[in-house]
A and B are shown apart, each in its own frame.
With several copies, the nearest count.
Chain A
Amino acid sequence: MKIFHRTSEDVTLLDIEGQITIGDGDVMLREALHALIAGGQKKILLNMARVTYMDSSGVGELIAGLQYVQEHGGQFKLLNISKKIKNLLFIAQILSIFEYFNDESVAIASFS
Chain B
Amino acid sequence: MPEIPTQLPREITLVEIRFNSSLAILDMIQPITNKVCDQLGFDEDSQYWIWLATQEALNNAIKHGNKFDPNKKVLFGLQVDGGEFRIIIQDEGEGFVVDEVPDPTRKENLLKTSGRGIFYMRSFMDRVEYNTDKGTKVTLVKRHQDES
Per-residue CB proximity of B43-78 to A under 8 Å, as 1/0?
Answer: 000001000100110010001000000000000000
Q: Is A88 an interface residue (CB 8 A)?
A: yes
- Asked whether A93 lies within 8 Å of B105 as measured between CB atoms, the reply is yes
- Which residues does chain A contribute within 8 Å of B116, judged by CB atoms? 56, 59-60, 92
Query: For the complex, is B135 an interface residue (Cβ under 8 Å from A)?
Result: no
B113 interface residue (CB < 8 Å to A)? yes
Chain A interface residue number, banded: 10 to 19
Confirm or deny: B97 has a beta carbon within 8 angstroms of a beta carbon on chain A.
no
Q: What's the count of A-B pairs with C-beta under 8 Å?
A: 47
Q: A22-B23, A23-B23, A97-B110 are in contact. Are A56 and B105 (CB under 8 A)?
A: no
State whether A55 touches B52 (Cβ < 8 A).
yes
**Does B4 reach chain A (CB closer than 8 Å)?**
no
A64 interface residue (CB < 8 Å to B) = yes
